Structure 1
Amino acid sequence: MSFSAPAPSDDEVNAARLDPARLQAVCDTGLLDTPAEESFDRLTRLATRLLEVPATFVSLVDAGRDFYKSTIGFGEPLASARQLQGRTFCHYALLSQGPLLLDDVCALPGFADVPTVQTLGVRAYAGVPLVTPEGLVLGSFCAVDMQPRHWTARDVEVLTELAHATLREITLRQALTQLAETNRLLAEEMHKVGVLNERLSELAHTDALTGLNNRRAYDQQLAREWRRVQRNGAPLSVLLVDADHFKAVNDQHGHAVGDHVLRVLAGVLQESAREIDVAARVGGEEFAVLLADTDATSAAGVAERIRSQIAQAEAMPVAGVTVSIGVATLLAEERPDSLQHRADQALYMAKSQGRNRVVSAR
C-alpha cells in the first residue's frame, strides 16, 4: 500500500503493536536479542544490491522496541545496538495488508516526525510485512533511501520474495530449535532409561538381604570365568560357605537375628574378596566365592582366613556362629557344573567332619 493519506493514529498503531497473540508469535521466533546470522544478512545484502538502496533491514516489532535481526548499510549506533525504541515506519506496516510504500516521508502528513527521519535521514521507505500462516505480523523486510524514491513494481516484487525467504528462514530456524530441544529431551529420557536399566539389572543380580550377588549373577560370572580360563589357562577356584546350625539360630533368636547373622557373613566375604573375585549368596544360608586366577593352595588359604574371621567376628549378634567351607579348583577340561558339584561335595565333607572347618575337593 502506498500512502498519500495521513498516517494511522497512535491508537491504531498501538493496538496492532501490542496485540498479545502477535507479541507471542514474535517471542516464539526465538530471534529477539540474538546475534546477527549470515542466513539473514545474506538476504538483506541481496536486497541492497538488487534495489540499489543504501540500507535494508529485517525488523521484528516487539512491545517496546523494534529489534533488527539483520541490518545492512546503517552506521552506529544502530549497527551495534540493532534496536530502536519509539515510533518507526515498521509499526505502520503492521496495519498494511501488503507492502507499505512511502516515496517521500516528508511529504506525507504524520510520517515526517517519525524519529528515524531525523536520526537516520530516511526519506523513502518500503516494507513488506512478515506474516505468519496464522496471519500475525512479526515485523517487516524493509528498504530505505536517503532521498525521495518512487518504489516500482519490480522493487515490490524483490522485497516480497525476500520477505518470503526471510519467513522460510525463521520457520527453518524454529524447526531446528525445536528439533534440538526434542533431541535434548530425548537424550535426558534415554539417560533416565539407562540409569533405570542399570538399577533394574543391579536388582536382578543382587541379593536384597546381603547386597551380594545373587545365584543368577553368580552362575553368569562362573560361566564367564570358565570361558576366560579356556582361553588363557589361568587357575580358577570356588568356595562354598555354609553357616553352621543356622536353623537353630533362627529358632532360638528369631529371623531378624538370623538375617543379621547373614549380613555379617556377607560383609566378611565381601571384605575378603578382591575386585576380580565374586562373592554371592546362592541359597538360604549358603554363600559362594569365585576366586579368579587362584590355585588350590591359595584358595584353601583364603577359605581358612574367612572361616577364622567369621568365628571371631565381633559384629555377630550371637556368639558361636561358625561356617563350613568347601573348596574346589577347576581341573583340566572340567565343566562349571562339575566344579560346582565338587565344591558342594567338599562342603558336605566339612559338615560331616564336625563343621567349622575347610575341606578341599580332590
Structure 2
Amino acid sequence: MESKPTTPADAAQIQAALTDPRRLAAVRDTGLLDTPPEEVFDRLTRLAAKLTGAPVTFVSLLDADRDFYKSAYGLGTTRQLSGRTFCHYPLVSGQALILEDVTQLPVFRDVPTVNSLGIRAYAGIPLRTESGEVLGSFCAVDFKPKQWTEQDVEIISELAHSAMREIRLRMALQDASALNQQLQAQIQKVDALNRALSEMATTDALTGVANRRAFDHSLQLELAIVERRGTPLSLLMLDVDHFKRINDTYGHEAGDKVLVAIAQLLGGCARVIDVVARVGGEEFAVILPNTDAGGAHEVAERMRSAVARSNWLGQPTTVSIGAATLHDKEDAASLYARADAALYAAKTAGRDRVAMA
C-alpha cells in the first residue's frame, strides 16, 4: 500500500513547520534531544525491523535544523542528519507517509538521503502530542523499492504509539521532578521563614540576646533538668546603673548602643550552656545551669568588672547584679523573686556591686 500527500509540502512550508516556536518548545520539553540511546526505544526499532523486514528503523525528533535520532536501528553510528529528510513531510501534513518507491515522484526523488543513504522506500508515522504538535516520526526505510503491507503499516503505527507513550511518560516524570524541586524550594523558603519568625519570637530585637519569652521557657527547661539530675542552678539579675541619666544626657540612640554593648559583654563572659536574656528595658538575666552559689558569684563579678572597665560614653558605665541559687523544691517565680530582691539590695548598697540572695 502507498500513501502520499496529493500536494507534497514545499520548502517554505517545511521550514515554517520546523521552526514553529510552539512545536520546537514541545520537542525540547521532551528532554530527549542529544541524549544517548536507550534500550526502551531501541527495543521498539529492533522490533519494527524484525516484523516489517525493513533494514533501517528509527525514532526521529525534529529540531529546527536537524533530525535527531533517539533510536536508529541499521544506521550505524549516525545519530542525526541535517537538511531535508523524508520525516519533514509527515511533520507538515500531520499524516502517515508511505512510499514504496521514492524515485517515482520528483519532490521525493530530490530528498538528499536518496543519494546520500540510498533510500528507496519510506514509511513514517508522526509522533504527535496531545495538543497536536508533531515531535518527529517513527520511521522504517529500505534501500530498494518495498511494497508496504497493511500489516507493516499497522505495526509501525502501533510502535509509534508505544514510542509516544514512552515520551509522554518521560515528560510526566520531568514535570513531576520539576514540581518536586519547586515544592522543595517552597518548603525551604517556609522553613527559613519559620526559623526567622521563631527567632523573632525568642530574640530581643535590639540586643540579639534572648527575650523575656525565651528566658521564661529556658528557665522552665532548666528546672526540669534539675529535677531529674539534681544539679545546681543559679540565676543572675542585672540592671544598668543610672540608665535614665544616660538617655537624658546622651540620647536614646546612645542608650541603645550601651545596651547592645552590655549584651555582647555578658555573652562573652557566659558559657555556651548559659542563657543571657534581656528581660526589661535596661534589665538582663543570666541563667547559669550546673552552677552553685560560689560559681554564680564568680561569674557575676566577672560580668560586673567587664562592664565597669568599659568606656563607651567617655565615662564608666556600671551594672548592679543580684544572684540567687535554686533551693530544693523551689519554683521559677521564687528563684526569680529572690534574684530580683538581691539586685535591689545591690543597688541600695551603692550600685556597681554583686549581692547574693
TM-score of Structure 1 vs Structure 2, range by shorter chain: over 0.9
Q: How many residue pairs align between the two structures?
A: 356
Shift of the 157–282 alpha-carbon distance from structure 1 to 2, 3 Å rule, reads same
For residue 201 of structure 2, the aligned residue among 194, 197, 204 is 204
**Per the alignment, in what secondary structure is the counterpart of residue 95 of structure 1?**
helix
Alpha carbon RMSD of aligned pairs, Å?
2.1
1:28 matched to 2:25:
no
Point out where structure 2 has 5 or more consecutive residues left out of the alignment.
none
Native 8 Å contact 1:6 1:108 kept in 2: no
For residues 168-317 of structure 1, the aligned pairs below 5 Å read 168-314=165-311, 316-317=312-313
Correspondence for 1:334? 330
Q: Specify whether residues 124 and 216 from structure 1 end up closer, same or farther in structure 2 by C-alpha distance, changes over 3 A only.
A: same
Within-5 A mapping of 1:337-352: 337-352=333-348
Matches within 5 A, 1:147-166: 147-166=144-163
Task: Give the partner amino acid of 2:3.
Answer: S
- CA distance in 1 between counterparts of 2:131 and 2:306 reads 78
The superposition leaves residues 137-161 of structure 1 with CA deviations (integer Å, 9 ceiling, x where unpaired) of 2211001122221111111111111
Q: Secondary structure at the match of 2:57?
A: strand
CA 150–306 in structure 1, closer or farther in 2 if over 3 Å, else same: same
1:63-142 aligned at under 5 Å gives the runs 63-76=64-77, 78=78, 82-142=79-139
User: Does the 8 Å CA contact 1:5/1:109 hold for their aligned counterparts?
Assistant: no
Amino acid at match of 2:309: Q
Q: Give the stretch that moved more between structures: 185-194 or 19-28.
A: 19-28
Q: Aligned-pair distance for 1:122?
A: 2.2
Change (3 A) 1:310 1:17: closer
- Match of 2:329, as an amino acid? E
Residue 18 (structure 1) shift: 3.6
Q: What corresponds to 1:40 in structure 2?
A: 41
Tell me, yes or no, if the aligned pair for 1:7 and 1:109 is still in contact at 8 Å: no
Where does structure 1 lack aligned partners over 5 or more consecutive residues?
Answer: none
Measure how far apart 1:7 and its partner are: 5.4
Distance 1:123 1:240, change over 3 A: same
- The structure-2 alpha-carbon separation of the partners of 1:12 and 1:271, relative to structure 1 and needing over 3 Å to count, comes to closer
Tell me the distance in 1 between the aligned counterparts of 2:85 and 2:189. 50
SS at match of 2:107: coil
Secondary structure of 2:189's counterpart equals: helix
* Shift, 1:87, TM fit: 1.5
Q: Take 2:89 and 2:5, find their aligned partners in 1: how far apart are those partners? A: 13
State the one-letter code of the partner of 1:177. Answer: Q
Secondary structure, counterpart of 1:139 in structure 2: strand
Q: Offset of 1:319 from its aligned partner?
A: 2.2
With normalisation by structure 1, the TM-score equals 0.91
d(CA) in 1 for partners of 2:93 and 2:271?
Answer: 80
The alpha-carbon distance between structure 1 residues 45 and 232, as it changes in their structure 2 partners (threshold 3 A), is: farther
